[in-house]
Structure 1
Amino acid sequence: MFTLKLIAVLCLLFSCTRDDDSIQRIDQIMNIYIKNSAGQDLLNSNKAGSFIGYSVNDQNGTSDVAPVSIPLRMTTDSLYYMEYIAGAKRVTLDSVSPENRTYRSNMVLSLRRTINNVTDTINDTMEIQYRWTPAVFQVSKVIYNGQVKFTKEADAPNSINTVTIIK
């Protein structure tokens, strides 16, 4: 009987150990701010010249219309931003090795605003690149309308990634 109890206690002890090396850091949240060159928040629909609405479509989606939900949030000092966590399909961009891969998501942002009582829609493109290793999955680069707007080194700590677009 003592032997069975000893085996049970040993099994319990070994099952409770943690292997910290097997935990993958996930760092994929992005806060996207859109401003003009004067610094005006273009996501605040109450300000003249700002966007009154937007929609996002996944270019890698399973159909032509593949909406991505990116909610509008506001900071404590009343700046609006789009909070992107996930939702667009990720496809392999390259696979250096089984232990180091780059994925990408491609989206079209349709930004609507009214100027002189005419609603105008601007279609912009955004590519998000992700770095994947057994130790980390993180946003590594954001390309907006063909221009790099954000980069992150592989050893950078986890954080909410801030991307500012100037229009």
Structure 2
Amino acid sequence: MKKLFPLLMLFGLTLLSCGSDEDSLQKIDQIMNIYIQDASGNNLLVPNKIGSYTTVGFNDELAPKDDAPVSMSRKEVITDSIYNLEYISGATREFVEDAADGSKIYKSDLEVSLIKKLSDTQNAPVVLDRLEIFYRSSANVFEVSRVLYNNQLVFTKIQDQPNRVTIIK
């Protein structure tokens, strides 16, 4: 019996240490839906439409190599027939600073290349822009906190709201 007691104690402690506490899980909130529109609110991501950006590319400027494309997918919101770009992840993140609340701030820096369709046979020259994504990381959450497009603030995180970034071109 004396030999069985330590084994039972070890087994009991093992079971207790394997318990799960959902509060200790870090929430990841980094999916962004990016909309590009003109000043009148017209969607500029409609595939093959004259006047739209029919080719959009993203390159990771913080990657160790010069050519580091970042994946974004063009999606159509069926209910509104509006197209957007969905960014899930993939860009290099660089530490920026420790925030006053104890969280850490990171950023990704992307070069955006846009080609606008001018006619059925002609495209405008490539436009190169810059997209900076800032993230906040704490024990509870890793989330997009703000986004700059060509050094202009285009998104600030609102708790429990989707990350909808609207760029006016």
Rounded Cα–Cα distance in structure 1 between residues aligned with 2:63 and 2:8: 55
Secondary structure (helix, strand or coil) at the match of 2:71 reads: coil
Q: Distance in 1 between matches of 2:131 and 2:167?
A: 11
Measured after TM superposition, the shift of residue 109 of structure 1 is 0.9
Deviation at 1:152, TM superposition (A): 1.5
Structure 2, unaligned runs of 5 or more: none
**Match of residue 137, structure 2, among 132, 141, 164:** 132
CA contact 1:28–1:160 (8 Å) conserved in 2: no
Distance 1:112 1:42, change over 3 A: same
CA distance in 2, matches of 1:5, 1:74: 59
For residue 102 of structure 1, what is the aligned residue in structure 2? 105
Whether the 8 Å contact between 1:90 and 1:104 is mirrored in structure 2 is: yes
Q: Give the Å deviation of 1:123.
A: 1.0
SS at match of 2:90: coil
Question: Which residue is equivalent to 2:16?
Answer: 14
- For residue 4 of structure 1, report the CA deviation from its aligned partner: 6.8
Separation of aligned partners in 1, 2:48 and 2:123: 15
Q: What residue is the counterpart of 1:118 in the other structure?
A: 122
| Alignment match, 2:26 | 24
Measure, in 2, the Cα distance between the counterparts of 1:59 and 1:15. Answer: 43
2:73 corresponds to which residue? Answer: 71
SS in 1 for 2:123: strand
* Secondary structure, counterpart of 1:14 in structure 2: helix
How far the C-alpha of 1:9 sits from its partner, in A, is 5.8
In the other structure, the counterpart of 1:36 is 38
Residue identity opposite 2:17 in structure 1: S
CA drift at 1:6: 4.4
- In structure 2, give the amino acid aligned to 1:105: S
Looking at structure 2, the residues matched to 9 and 145 of structure 1 have their Cα atoms a distance apart, in angstroms, of: 58
TM-score, with length taken from structure 2: 0.85
CA–CA separation in structure 1 for the residues paired with 2:84 and 2:152: 20
TM-score, normalization by structure 1? 0.86
How many residues end up aligned between the 2 structures?
164
Counting aligned pairs with the same residue, the percent is: 40
> Which structure 1 residue ranges, 5 or more long, are not aligned?
none
Stretches of 4+ moved more than 3 A in 1? 1-9, 96-99
CA distance in 2, matches of 1:107, 1:91: 12
Question: 2:149 maps to which residue?
Answer: 144
